[in-house]
Amino acid sequence: MTLDRAIALFFMLVSLLYGYSAWFIMDARIPPFMVQNPVWPSSFPKMLAIGGIFFSLLVLISPHRPRDESDIDLSRWAEYNYGQAIGLLALMTAYALLLLPLGFLAATFLFLMLGSLILGERRWVLMILASGIASVGIWYLVQEVLGIFLRPLPAILGA
């Protein structure tokens, strides 16, 4: 079995477990007043599970193709850039820890800026614009459109 099919099989098993928990465990705990709602808290997990199963099935039943240069070659594992991967994992951890103290806007802006730096982007104007627009845009959509409170400013400012 090739690596992509093994990963797809693992992803399918995870999606099946996630779907089972969404359909049977989460739905069993729905309060009676929410039963008549068109959208339940388990609706999005159900869609994710269906999508995960569908795409992993696509990989599993797709015809075998010849190996090309862009495929992952485990015999050359030492040539891959682990520094970027470890740096991004550390940055994600720092983002999760700094989200409340710095506020959503500053933490997200710094995460996007430093993430693009780790990945090799050096066009500062583009990085600042993209990070700023994405941070404010995501905050506006979540806060104002969806109505989910996100602390936009640092906690020290009392926001």
pLDDT band at 148 (very low <50, low <70, confident <90, very high): confident
C-alpha 99/C-alpha 111 separation (Å) is 10
Query: pLDDT-derived band of residue 68, with 50, 70 and 90 as boundaries?
Result: low
Two structure tokens written together for 13: 């098993």
List own/partner pairs for 14-22 with CB under 8 A and 24 or more apart: 14/52, 15/48, 15/49, 15/51, 15/52, 15/53, 15/56, 16/49, 16/53, 18/45, 18/48, 18/49, 18/52, 19/45, 19/46, 19/49, 19/50, 19/52, 19/53, 21/45, 22/46, 22/49
Asked whether residue 49 carries a pLDDT value surpassing 90, the answer given is yes
- Chain segment 105-143, per-residue pLDDT in tens: 999 999 999 999 999 899 999 999 999 999 999 999 988
Write the CA distances from 133 to 66, 115, 137, integer angstroms.
Answer: 42, 15, 6
User: Within 10 Å of residue 1's Cβ, how many Cβ atoms?
Assistant: 9
Check residue 37 and give its pLDDT: 79
CA distances from 2 to 64, 86, 129 (A): 9, 25, 41
